[in-house]
Amino acid sequence: MRIATWNINSIGARLPRLLDWLGTAEPDVLCLQEIKCSEADFPADELGRLGYESAVHGTGRWNGVAVLSRVGIEGVRRGLSGEPGFQPEDAMIEAVEPRAIGVTCNGVRLWSVYVPNGRTVEHAHYEYKLRWLGALRTTVVEELDSARPFAVLGDFNIAPTDADVWDISQFTESTHVTAPERDALAALREAGLRDVYPRALKYEVPFTYWDYRQLCFPKNRGMRIDLVYADAAFADAVTDAFVDREARKGTGASDHAPVVVELG
């Protein structure tokens, strides 16, 4: 069973690339983040012609997550237990954003998650990020079941260690590498999950994200922030894991590359 995760950075803008990648990589399940569309506008018909069923949690131009599966979808759950909302500066009320969707595919329980960015350590979005991660841990604890493999996949917007960024000295005052964020990842591990680490391909560290600016991708100035956190049943069944850097190349690519996991 081949399972992948990819921050697509707008499914509308990237649909031709996504369709091509599905035809080549042929994952059984693909977790998507930052789809930036509503459920009504999601291209389920085009994906269905490739044999993929869709479960979608999206409301419009920002955020949004989805799961594509050609091995069935059951037990769809949108949102986390006690999930906090966020009130942008230009909004009148706080809203819960579409950032997490849980499904069961061929007996494997999966969550596609798009963790809030945090923006800056001083910003209200950073505290929102930490509260959101707390709700994710609560949901993981509720859903862990030794009778079925379980994994949370997606854009965590956290680099687990200093080695997971191209130059830690460039991030000394930034989000993504702070102790509270990394403590939240540690709390997921303490709850019973493991970090499924991709094997090295072209470079020693398998980065998953490269900024569009300053030639970051060709210079490999990246970060490993797209993660697969799995229970023992899932992690012990992994026969391979890698980052598909080819999908990051060329004009019109997402700024993230897919992470692909093979289960025996």
Class of domain 2-263 (CATH, top level): alpha beta
pLDDT in tens, 214-255: 999 999 999 999 999 999 999 999 999 999 999 999 999 999
Q: What is the model's pLDDT at position 147?
A: 87
Using the predicted structure, report yes or no on whether residue 142 has a pLDDT greater than 90: yes
Using the predicted structure, report yes or no on whether residue 42 has a pLDDT greater than 80: yes
Mean pLDDT score of the chain: 96
Q: What is the model's pLDDT at position 191?
A: 98
Q: What is the model's pLDDT at position 91?
A: 74
Using the predicted structure, report yes or no on whether residue 28 has a pLDDT greater than 90: yes
Largest CA distance in the chain: 49
Who wins on pLDDT, 115 or 61?
115
Q: What is the model's pLDDT at position 93?
A: 81
Domain extent listing, the chain: 2-263
What is the token pair recorded at 50?
């490739």
Q: What is the model's pLDDT at position 152?
A: 98
Q: What is the model's pLDDT at position 24?
A: 97
Confidence of residue 123 (pLDDT cuts 50, 70, 90): very high
Q: What is the model's pLDDT at position 232?
A: 97
Confidence of residue 162 (pLDDT cuts 50, 70, 90): very high
Q: What is the model's pLDDT at position 137?
A: 98
Q: What is the model's pLDDT at position 9?
A: 98
